[in-house]
Structure 1
Amino acid sequence: MLKIENLNKKFKKEQVLKNIHLEVKTNEIIAIIGPSGAGKSTFLRTINLLEIPDTGRISIDELKLDFANFSKDEAFKLRKKSAMVFQNFNLFINKNILENITEALIVVYKMPKNRAKEIAYERLKSVNLEAKALNYPYELSGGQQQRVAIARALALNPSVMLFDEPTSALDLELVAEVLEVIKNIKDKTMIIVTHELNFAKNLADKIIFMANGEILEQGEAKHFFNNPSHTRVKNFLEKLHI
């Protein structure tokens, strides 16, 4: 349901993504791992055009787009196919939690306010935060704010959920609650950039290893960590005692 072909991206003269190919099945969970500076987050951001690739093609469901030549309408349709959960929550500090979730539903999706509120409460309930609906972000812990960000993404009912290091801004004691929420998401295609390798191993269907802007290796999670074939991957996992 998601297919990316020949994706390339430069920042000035630096090639940060090199000939990326990826296929993700419906409801498949992909974990992207690798060293810092590998291009993992940049790759994730190209999927919904937060970063514009130089070349390549993407297909999500029935939508197909050529990164080298697309219209504003095509970009809008592509962005509606996915929802991003960022490292640092990206909540509106001047809006309460309910408003943070309903904003895009009302403004972008033109949904009636009452229906948007119903969906927001449903999603907040799924992350055990319905009691915080009228609170403001500063009144919540980092873990709670990230759970709100996940609820906001789910409210959009995207075809693909994108997680960019969803626990990296959290204290260690808050990481588990966010990982548990992600683990309990049902029937969603997910691509997760993470340094939580044990979480990736236990949750993902497939692991992708990136370094220097390339996918060096990918495989089923249950086999990937036991017998990697690429020397760079072996060295990475050995250093982390995985």
Structure 2
Amino acid sequence: MMIRILPKLENAEQWHDFIQREQRYCFVNEPETLVDLQSNHLMITLLNKGVRNGRQAIKYSIGAKTSADPIKYFIAHCRFSLSFMLYLLEQLDFSKTVLDYDGLGNGHALSIRRFFAREREILSPSLLSNLAPLSEWPARWSLGALLSLLANHQYHYLYGSKTANQNMAPRLDGLALLLNILDKPSRYRVRTHEEELLINRDGQPFAVLMPKLPGALPRPVLQAPEVRLTLPPAPVLDGRDYLN
């Protein structure tokens, strides 16, 4: 699933546009978070420009059981500012598993939880900021080029290496492979075989990927061998050189 990235959520207009979207689920660049607005709950995952594994991230769940109104009041109470909202949440005492927050007034109470996220396949978008799409076939493949392919889904297929007891090679998830390489890059190597990339893990065949890139494969430039002509010496007859 492609997740939209918003620059920020810092005023009423930005929140209104976000709430009106069909998919109310997005990354926010500053502060770097994953925001998920469900029917009665607002979920905020802190990414902090360094999360490689979603289970390392702190997550807040804010909501009420029966109505979405408390969430709307909470967003307004936080001055329509995601930054101020996180500041307010950091001031709360989470010694209990669930915190009842009644600071909104008008009888709009909220339940707030703070916990570690469970979604491993979440990472900071800033980690991928340098992984721009490849515009052509690299002259030499590296893990960095492979990560660019995976981050931008620039491949026709990605299969695991078939073992002896398998009839068909299993299809692999590109994001999961990207996360694994980011987590432990020293375990992986990549090399080419014709138009495919062969990916090894711990020195063993692990996956096969077919890149989807514009243009043709780079071909080695062949240089013509240098040819030197050596003329035989001029004939000498009867002791006379007839060419001079």
Greater Cα radius of gyration, structure 1 or 2: 2
Higher relative contact order (CA 8 A, sep 6+): 1
Taking structure 2 as the reference length, the TM-score comes to 0.24
> Relative to total residues, which structure has the larger helix share, 1 or 2?
1
Taking structure 1 as the reference length, the TM-score comes to 0.24
